[in-house]
Amino acid sequence: TRLRPSSPPGGLYKLLSHSEYSRPNRVPFNSQGSNPVRVSFVNVNDQSGNGDRLCFNVGRELYFYIYKGVRKAADLSKPIDKRIYKGTQPTCHDFNHLTATAESVSLLVGFSAGQVQLIDPIKKETSKLFNEEGLLSSQNQANSPSGTVV
């Protein structure tokens, strides 16, 4: 559990359960299965001085937020971008830190069926989908001599 002020500092504090503090409001949560949550960070060097961005996945959902540091929680009711996938789920993601700007950021997302998607969560664009047929997957990698696919 976490303590959060319900009035200005020095005032009254309200005890919240961990799930109330860390999950967006009105977002369905499916506790079945053990789908890992992945988190990626990037700094877009915007003029406001708060250029940190955060991406995380929960089940079939992918969220993108402004990150204000560990002392101030992100406003989980206002994502910059939110995507819900059908038929497959995000298993990993990472930003291109070299090309990230305040107007655009490239995010590669890997999925459970082997696809890889390039998206821009700031522009809310989907650029490309790689391995759409799912020919490259973890099962195929296990059969390759080195354990990786090049």
- What are 82-109's pLDDT values in tens digits? 999 998 899 999 999 999 998 999 999 9
pTM of the model: 0.65
Q: Shortest CA distance to 97 belongs to which of 53, 57, 38, 48?
A: 53
Count the helix, strand and coil residues of the chain and give each as a percent rounded to the nearest 5. 5, 35, 60
pLDDT given at position 37: 85
Taking CA 95 as the corner, what is the angle to CA 94 and CA 96, rounded to the nearest 5 degrees? Answer: 130
Q: Shortest CA distance to 93 belongs to which of 106, 80, 77, 78?
A: 106
> pLDDT at residue 18 above 90?
no
